[in-house]
Amino acid sequence: MTDPHRRILHVDMDAFYASVEQRDRPELRGMPVVVGGDVRGVVAAASYEARKFGIRSAMPMREAERRCPDLVRLPVRMSWYKAVSDEVFAIFREITPLVEGLSLDEAFLDVTECQNLHGSADRIAVTVKDRIRRQTGLTASVGVAPNKLVAKIASDLDKPDGLVVVTADNLQSILDPLPVRVIPGIGPATGKQLVDAGIRSIAELRAAPDRVLEPIFGRYTRRTRERAAGIDDRRVVPSRPEKSISAEETFPRDLTERPDLHRELMRLCERTSTRLRARSLAAGTVQLKVRQSDFTTFTRQHALRPPGNGTDSVFNIARQLLDSWLRDFPGARVRLLGVGGSELTPACQGDLFDTGNGRSGRMGAELDRTVDEIRGRFGDESLGRARVLGSRLRQNW
């Protein structure tokens, strides 16, 4: 049963990636902006101006550009977004140690025990929003509620730059008129089943008899009804470890030549290794993902011993995996490549940029460190090894 005295905040940054780009480039403010890959990729984030055209995250880029011919498409600067995210999460942790990050741009905060120090949960929410705006120039929407479920729903009710406070007294009056799809876990297919059964609102879901709900939810019927009543006893769990870190790319045209594949593989290894180093993590396993033109997808993996995060170390293993796959599938047309690191462990400082032994290892470490610093400020595509940049320069001639 939900404790009515608990106070949970769900903080959700507004169109985070796109908002960072509009902040950094004021000339883009008020314009429809999306962040994502090339025209064969998908939208990673869309500004609110772009959303007016029905553009959403995970939409194919071609569809987004069809809906809005004046769309501004920008490359992903993940290391920079991570740096901004770190600023935001530092603000959270100044308020409470109970911070559960869901992604770079959203988190739960349990502020139940720190209200004597920082004021009421409502006041804390205002403080968090003000600090984010003052320190980063960005806006966030916040939901305040007795539990995680309702806080997450509330944060989405008044976007952008919203604040919705739900208490035990107004909980049901806020939830009841909302469509059932706002409940996490109820997707398009389940939503259609509910509509077909005459259930559109949370109030109707909560009041529906078991004979109507059981064919849809089965053994989860009781849990679903509890959610419709705003009941959620999950705790905020801080410092959830990441299981893997990866990067992938869908290419503008299918690749068939080994040198081209190796160049793109290096780019992905650079991105993955940079993200590992940014989190002070080392990977014990390198993973390769290959998708052919017919969308058939393959994965391969191999141990990295000792665990590491150096670009060259990751690339050497990924290249071996790719070459082995190419021997099995000669002449394949490759639509997508991905590189990931798993079996993550904390990287000790001495090994943080380790790419091997001896002089070459030290040179690789210095190169990684320099590239990380420049990319962190100017974006992932601002600097790279000659084998990567050279191909792009030739393409532009």
Q: Which are the catalytic amino acids?
A: 106
Smallest CA-to-CA distance from 135 within 93, 88, 97, 99 is with: 88
Tokens of 384: 């790279």
Contact yes or no for 156/145 (Cβ under 8 A):
no
As a whole number of angstroms, the distance between CA 112 and CA 109 comes to 9
